[in-house]
Amino acid sequence: MKHLIDIRDLSVEELDFLMDTAIDIKNNPEKYSEKCKGKKLATLFFEPSTRTRLSFEAAMYELGGNVLGFSEAASSSSSKGESVADTARIVGCYADIIAMRHPKEGAPLVASAKAGIPVINAGDGGHNHPTQTLADILTIRIKKGGFDNLTVGFCGDLKYGRTVHSLIAALSRYKNVKLVLISPEELRVPKYVIKDIINGNNMEYVETADLEEAIPSLDILYMTRIQRERFDSKDSYERLKDSYVLKRSKLENAKKDLCILHPLPRVNEISVDVDDDERACYFEQALNGKYMRMALILKLLEEESLNSTQSVNEDLIYTIKCKNPRCITSVEQELPHIFRLTDKANGICRCIYCESKEKNT
Ligand code: NCD
């Protein structure tokens, strides 16, 4: 069975195929309007969402399928203490495919092991958000024709911004992509992303706190919201929340063909006077998300009918405990703690749910 938990579950060829399909859907919607007739998508959203949930639902309706689900944890049995694994096992009896958003890192991975149907990660805590990446890459391909040799600036909350982690992972597959990581010191990209993804793929990168200085060099500027809900202290959120505000006046020295993206929702990090600039692509990006989700649902259901399996080829360790309080294992006591040996020479392992690092001694 194939799931989408991490954007790297899809090869570059599969991403190309999804983008080609999405464009074909956009141009020939009638061709696809009955492709999922009789199929059901379950949207299990334990965290707020506008674009992701509604675009998944619109995607399934436009494929001729049906939708069931919930939009907050309070209206599901998780409020009575049901585990993610049990919820997934039950929903697997009612639906054909699941899109799940959860505040804990690794929850959709847990669901994918139990549901018996394909599971799509629609955002797990501050970890990953692969279907937002699908929207991002289609927009970049349409605007730039490809990914090689681009200089991509990420600005804002690079620590908790799950869309940032997933898009960096996707870009790491292309040639000569340079990253400019713009954030306050406290909100820098997590170390595992720098080490495993950026250094692991020899990507060129700089870290800076200065947006204005960075702007002229960029082909893509990916703005993000400071993720209030992930902060441990209200004070540090208050101190950092207005770190960056992109105004039209700041674009004077930007490239004429800069592409400004934002996963949305914005709070105040892009002022509305930028919306009319032709370099603002974030509303188009949200629309592209629907076509990519249509292409993804089609692909996963098709592979399901062919009975394909995701290959498993890894060294797993069951004796280490994950200490990350944001990991799904911190709240679901019954879950096995499982680590993957990622650096054999130094005995470095990472939790399969949240990617926290431990040493295997
Ligand atoms: C993002 C998310 O949920 O991570 N939103 C989205 O899905 N488009 C970004 C955010 O909430 O800031």
Q: Which of 2, 39, 53, 129 is catalytic?
A: 129
Average of per-residue pLDDT across 214-243: 96
The number of beta carbons lying within 10 Å of the beta carbon of residue 131 is 26
Q: What is the tens place of the pLDDT at every residue in 134-157?
A: 999 999 999 999 999 999 999 999
- Say yes or no: CB of residue 162 within 6 Å of ligand 1: yes
Q: How confident is the model at residue 308 (pLDDT cuts 50, 70, 90)?
A: low
Q: Which of 40, 53, 101, 350 is catalytic?
A: 101
Q: Is 80 a catalytic residue?
A: yes
Cα diameter, the chain: 58
Contact 150, 178 (CB under 8 A): yes
Residues in CB range of 272: below 8 A, 6 or more apart: none
pTM score above 0.85: yes
Q: How confident is the model at residue 221 (pLDDT cuts 50, 70, 90)?
A: very high
Question: pLDDT at position 313, please?
Answer: 63
Find out whether the peptide bond into 108 is cis, omega within 30 degrees of 0: no
- Say yes or no: CB of residue 127 within 6 Å of ligand 1: no
Contact 116, 137 (CB under 8 A): no
> Cα–Cα distance between 322 and 200 in angstroms, integer?
23
Q: Are strands 220-223 and 66-70 parallel, antiparallel or unpaired?
A: unpaired
* Residue 207 identity: E
Q: Give yes or no for residue 116 having a pLDDT over 70.
A: yes
| CA–CA distances in Å: residue 186 to residues 56, 101, 201 | 33, 25, 24
Q: Whose CA is nearest to atom 7 of ligand 1?
A: 52
Q: Which domains does the chain have, with CATH numbers?
A: 7-129+287-305 (3.40.50.1370), 131-283 (3.40.50.1370), 316-359 (2.30.30)
